[in-house]
Structure 1
Amino acid sequence: MNLLRNNFLKVTAVLAVVFGMSSCATQHKQTVSKEVKQPNIIYILADDAGWGDFSCYGQEKFSTPNIDALAESGIRFTDHYAGSSVCAPSRSTLLTGQHTGHTPIRGNKEVMPEGQVPIPGATFSLPKMLKSEGYATGMFGKWGLGYPQSEGAPNAQGFDEFYGYNCQRLAHTYYPLYLRHNGTKVPLPANSEGHATYTHDMIHEQALSFIDQNKEKPFFLYLPYTIPHAEMVVPQDSIFQVFKEKYPQGKPFVNKANHDPNLSHEDRFYKGAYGDQEYPRAAFATMMYYLDNAVGDVMKKVKEHGLEENTIIIFSSDNGPHKEGGADPYYFQSFGPFKGVKRDLYEGGIRVPMIVSWPKTIAGKTVSDHPSAFWDVLPTVADIVGVDLSEDKNIDGISFLPTLLGKAESQEKHDYLYWEFHEKGGRRAVRMGNWKAVQYNLKKKKKIEIYDLSKDPSESNNLAKQHPELVKKAQKIFDEARTSSKEFPFQAENI
């Protein structure tokens, strides 16, 4: 359990990355040298960490030296976007290569007592693609795309090995009654009596073991960690104590459900009730420390087996920062220079970090402003491993492999990036070059807003009146960029 907590006082910031890259609109198929065998692919996903929660992206209240080192060894993207502003649809876009107007799972829709609406069994997905290419596939962390034993469960969607939370609601506690291993419950009886078994450590150790077990063959490791999502509950260790002394306390969080005599511990678990936290700021910083150390452990494990030059490590977050369970993204400026948090379609809710490291193939200390999104990951990986994506796969993404290889002149660009969000009366947004259109509360027929991200990244100056042609263009995209979903009806269909 000490893997995540060693050498705390030695944490320091690493050099900022300094080079820039641009993109152009010419499409050109890229290939990796045939001398390179199938590379291992590790995709690490933070849960509810904002663009500004990392020191290489400007965080000043704590440092993330391992993630900074990952950025120094590869390329850091400044204009990368999550698939959605909440968990399940964002992950669906990542694994299917389709934006929220097309991907099967477009919202957080619960199935009781455990799980969410399943992604259809016939869905073409990243793990299925890699498994068909001979990869060992493992997923460790939070799933959220189908209840246990359903067609959307991890093992049914192409993963050989799964360990973690099948249900994202049950992941609201770090001390659950059980986890799941390939669909089977792994009881944690000590947690019924209190905070005994911290599951982030368990999930992390299983992921490292997966690397050990598959070091001789190509593997795909999908690591959707649960931190720093609420609840804001962490082990009462020396790290937490240091942060308690470092930061002002902030507003304590008390959940009434935890003090309701009519609710049992099991009731609260299945309800997804967040635990109380007297020092939420210290808890958040502690989580970010654990996350950074976990990334460092993965990097060390890859190096230990001599796999560095044949392993791609991608790091990102599933959406913007949250303010649940006592979290205070405003104190930490977790959203960076942007406006909005989780559930927003303003930049703060959907613009996220992305770092890609592949020594000897990707130049280190590189920064790219190429606009990209989660649905670009699948076609990029397909390019890398040599999979031809036929049109019947209905992929919205565009490979950013040219950017990774330093060939910006041959990088194809999106005409637009599209999002729709089914809560809060219906929200949608589209980025068109440097222009961004946002529309909130479709139920009340709110007007389209227009922002120039090149001059106004905080989306403070609505230019809709000055640019009616962009309002018209955005409306056309909103009308044409999506298909209807019976499972996830959208408010726009009723306007």
Structure 2
Amino acid sequence: MKKIVLSLILTLLGIRITTAQTLPKTTKTRPNIVLIVADDLGFGDVGFNGQQLIKTPNIDRLASQGMKFSQFYAGTSVCAPSRSALISGLHTGHTYIRGNKGVQPEGQEPIADSVLTVAEVLKKAGYITGAFGKWGLGPVGSEGDPNKQGFDQFFGYNCQTLAHRYYPNHLWNNAEKIVLEANENLVKNKIYAPDLIQNKALDFIESQRNGKPFFLFLPYILPHAELIVPEDSIFQYYKGKFAEKPFKGHDYGPKATVGGYASQEYPHAAFAAMVTRLDWYVGQVVAKLKEKGLDKNTIIVFSSDNGPHVEGGADPSFFKSSGKFKGVKRDLYEGGIREPFIVTWPNVIKPNSKSDHIGAFWDLLPTFAELGGVSIPKGIDGISFASLLTGKGKQRQHNYLYWEFHEQGGKQAIRQGKWKAIRLNAIDNPDGPVELYDLEKDPSEAQDLANQYPEKAKELGDLIKRSHRPSALFPFYRTTK
């Protein structure tokens, strides 16, 4: 462990229906798939997208080895519905889970058994499946349990509320509750859960011996608030580098709240260390794949579930976490939903390639299905971008992308080509005005062009409303007109 951390610090200081016919001739077997999804990592939090203050050498190396996407989007701007869009291939006007809705005693509203998930699609194709990190789509034993949604193995936080704490008193290994006695009652903070989860993920890779393809889903919780890391060499590297304003939160101890955020004397250093620790995990995954001889036929996808948060003492403006874009988590402006996105596949995807292809989380299911040699499910919103990755065939394009967000009065957004429309306060005013932006000329969404192009604003406003399918579980409009 010490050698790995030392090596890291030295680096920092120095630094619709298709089949397997789409697979390139160089690939003799179906590829393994590793999907890494960070939590609340902004577009600008990584070096390859311009980050200057935080070191991400492993993620940047991954970007240099594959294809970097400049216009790829999350499912929406908060955790559960964004992940629901990812695993179901449906945008948030259609997907089953459309908001963060907790249930007792622990967990979130379960995604329905009727939903066909990416893990189920790949499992039927013969893939071994595992998920390690944060779930948030259904309690243990419910129909949304990851073991009932296509994953052979799950280890981590079932409940995203408990994932606010990095030193929790328990995690889940499938249906087994793993009590972390050293962290009992949130009094002691001995076991840093992300490190434990990472070790289990590496064990999953280590266990792949029978030649069957595998799908490894890594929904990491870093760098989600709270701002806390082990006080090791990674944290020490950043400590003292930035001006700091201490954050006073709800500390560990007898009065600790489950979903609270701990105090942090060095919030900037802690956030930077969390991002670098995430980068370290990515490096470990790549190294383990190489060690096992699995790297040559493994696709690695790296992204984030939504834009950067502002809770718990986080300061996205200081780090320019959203890059040049406006907005943060819970916004449908670009900063809330446009994400860092990388795909690598040795000998298939050309190193240092770049793409301005417009895609979103719901495209991953059909893409993985096609690359896994199985028919793409009908009735989904996603479009496979396997042709783009392999260079085989003409890549289909979306007519539009749609998002909705059920908090803060209700927000909806749509992108069609260069145009982006956003409707605020949609719950009470479903036919209200929209803001209109030309993302080619104005990616920062600084100039609302709705008055200048009223016909386009009306066209996209009408399309926004048609893109939402009512949900009894997650009702959106309070009134109808």
TM-score (structure 2 length as normaliser): 0.94
Aligned-partner Cα distance in 2 for 1:177–1:387:
40
1:196-235 correspondence to structure 2 within 5 Å: 196-215=190-209, 216-235=211-230
Aligned-partner Cα distance in 2 for 1:296–1:415:
36
Match of 1:397 in 2: 382
Q: Post-superposition shift, 1:179? A: 0.4
C-alpha contact 1:13 1:64 (8 A) present in aligned 2: no
Q: Could you give the per-residue CA deviations for residues 37-64 of structure 1, whole angstroms, max 9, x where no partner exists?
A: 0111000010000000000011011221
C-alpha contact 1:59 1:333 (8 A) present in aligned 2: yes
C-alpha contact 2:9 2:237 (8 A) present in aligned 1: no
Equivalent in 300, 303, 322 of residue 316 of structure 1: 303
Match of 1:153 in 2: 145
Aligned-partner Cα distance in 1 for 2:146–2:330:
25
Match of 1:430 in 2: 414
SS state at 2:348 partner? coil
Q: Which amino acid aligns with 2:9?
A: L
TM-score (structure 1 length as normaliser): 0.92
SS state at 1:312 partner? strand
Aligned-partner Cα distance in 2 for 1:387–1:242:
47
- When structure 1 is superposed on structure 2, of 96-105 and 240-249 the one drifting more is 240-249
Q: Post-superposition shift, 1:494? A: 3.9
Judged with a 3 Å threshold, the aligned counterparts in structure 2 of structure 1 residues 434 and 47 are, in CA distance, closer, same or farther, namely same
Aligned-partner Cα distance in 2 for 1:13–1:41:
32
Judged with a 3 Å threshold, the aligned counterparts in structure 2 of structure 1 residues 220 and 160 are, in CA distance, closer, same or farther, namely same
Q: Which amino acid aligns with 2:300?
A: I
Equivalent in 103, 113, 121 of residue 95 of structure 2: 103
Q: Could you give the per-residue CA deviations for residues 54-102 of structure 1, whole angstroms, max 9, x where no partner exists?
A: 0001101122111111111110000000001000000000000000011
Aligned-partner Cα distance in 1 for 2:126–2:237:
46
C-alpha contact 2:125 2:373 (8 A) present in aligned 1: no
Q: Flag structure 2 segments of 5+ consecutive residues without an equivalent.
A: none
C-alpha contact 2:73 2:360 (8 A) present in aligned 1: yes
Q: Could you give the per-residue CA deviations for residues 344-368 of structure 1, whole angstroms, max 9, x where no partner exists?
A: 0000000001100000011111010
SS state at 2:403 partner? strand
- When structure 1 is superposed on structure 2, of 142-151 and 468-477 the one drifting more is 468-477
Match of 2:469 in 1: 483
Match of 2:399 in 1: 415
C-alpha contact 1:76 1:367 (8 A) present in aligned 2: yes
Aligned-partner Cα distance in 1 for 2:441–2:30:
42
Match of 2:126 in 1: 134
Quick one: percent identity of the two aligned structures? 52
C-alpha contact 1:70 1:357 (8 A) present in aligned 2: yes
Q: Which amino acid aligns with 1:448?
A: V
Match of 2:450 in 1: 464
Q: Post-superposition shift, 1:492? A: 6.5
Aligned-partner Cα distance in 2 for 1:8–1:467:
52
Q: Could you give the per-residue CA deviations for residues 369-397 of structure 1, whole angstroms, max 9, x where no partner exists?
A: 00000000011111111211243xx2100
Match of 1:10 in 2: 10
Aligned-partner Cα distance in 2 for 1:5–1:81:
32
Say how many residue pairs are matched: 473
Q: Post-superposition shift, 1:493? A: 5.5
Runs (4+) of structure 1 exceeding 6 A deviation are 27-30
SS state at 1:430 partner? strand
Judged with a 3 Å threshold, the aligned counterparts in structure 2 of structure 1 residues 222 and 28 are, in CA distance, closer, same or farther, namely closer
Q: Which amino acid aligns with 2:396?
A: E
C-alpha contact 1:85 1:344 (8 A) present in aligned 2: yes
Match of 1:455 in 2: 441
Q: Could you give the per-residue CA deviations for residues 398-450 of structure 1, whole angstroms, max 9, x where no partner exists?
A: 1111111235x711110000001000010000001010001112245352000
Q: Could you give the per-residue CA deviations for residues 172-219 of structure 1, whole angstroms, max 9, x where no partner exists?
A: 000001000002110011113321000110000100000010143211
